[in-house]
Structure 1
Amino acid sequence: MHIDYLCDHPELIEELATLNFNEWGEFRPGQTVEDRIEHMRESCGKGAVPSVVVALEGSRLLGGALLIESDLKLRPELTPWLAGVYVKTEERGRGIASQLVNRVVEEATALGVPQLYLYTDTSQSLYARLGWEVVEDLVYENLPVTVMKFVIQH
């Protein structure tokens, strides 16, 4: 298993975007899978915000994660964000999500970002184990979520 930039594997954009849409599409009412594919294509940076990284086994997609400018309309002042951390169901339990998160933190560190944000409804313990701190709990799109941050030591 290795982690690489999605932009170096454009044939996987549609698959990752579809997985993200299936997982979180209900939180973006009116968004289509085509909208999500276009957003993923636009986010496919490298060494910049936005960037997308993917976990691969050979050429097979295992999961992905995004480094984006903003991910929570309620907190536009917080930037940048770790978003869309997703690992295929059958690949979970192998530490892939942790490796994706750590890779996005490395990307942010290389860019001189002082801190990184995320929100989650179910994975607070995973992120806490990786050094993320709770900022606040709130309700977003009728879903209770936890906003967390990672302070980067430069």
Structure 2
Amino acid sequence: MHIDYLCDHPEFIEELATLNFKEWGEFRPGQTVEDRVEHMRESCGKGSVPSVVVAFEDSRLLGGALLIESDLKLRPNLTPWLAGVYVKAEERGRGVASQLVMRVVEEAQKLGIPELYLYTDTSQSLYAQLGWQVVEELIYEDLPVVVMKFVTGK
């Protein structure tokens, strides 16, 4: 398995955007798959915020994760965010998500970012095992979520 910048593997942009849309599209009413593809293209930075990393084997996409400025409208003061961590169902249980998360943490450290945030409704235990700390619990878009942070040591 390899993890690299999505901008260096543009052949995965449409597939990753489509997977993200299928997973979370309901939370962005009015957004289309095409909107998500364009957002993914715009987020394809390298060594910057925003950026996107992908996990792949051979020519097969396994999953991806984003480093973005903001991901929670209710907390505009918190920045930047780990977002869109997604691993294909058939690839789960292999540590792909953990490796994607830690690659984004490494990116934040390289950029001198002292704290990185995320929110989750289902994966709090995974993130806690990787060193993320709970900031607060709240209701967002009618969904109970946990906001977490990672202190990068910078």
- For structure 1, the residue ranges without an aligned partner over 5 or more in a row are none
Distance 1:73 1:59 in 2: 36
| Corresponding position of 2:17 | 17
Alignment RMSD, CA only?
0.5
| Corresponding position of 1:26 | 26
| Corresponding position of 2:135 | 135
> TM-score, normalised on structure 1?
0.99
CA deviations 1:75-129 (Å, max 9, x no partner) are 0000000000000000000000000000000000000000000000000000000
For residues 1-154 of structure 1, what are the structure 2 equivalents within 5 Å? Answer: 1-154=1-154
- SS at the partner of 1:46? coil
- For 2:117, the aligned partner's letter is Y
Distance 2:74 2:34 in 1: 25
- For 2:39, the aligned partner's letter is H
Distance 1:148 1:59 in 2: 33
Give the fraction of aligned pairs with identical amino acids, expressed as a percent.
85
- For 2:51, the aligned partner's letter is S
- SS at the partner of 2:84? strand
> TM-score, normalised on structure 2?
0.99
- For 2:120, the aligned partner's letter is T
Distance 1:12 1:99 in 2: 18
- SS at the partner of 1:30? coil
Quote the offset at 1:58 in angstroms.
1.1
4+ runs deviating over 6 angstroms:
none
Distance 1:34 1:143 in 2: 25
- SS at the partner of 2:90? helix
Quote the offset at 1:11 in angstroms.
1.2
- For 2:93, the aligned partner's letter is G
- For 2:140, the aligned partner's letter is Y
Question: How many residue pairs align between the two structures?
Answer: 154
Quote the offset at 1:59 in angstroms.
1.6
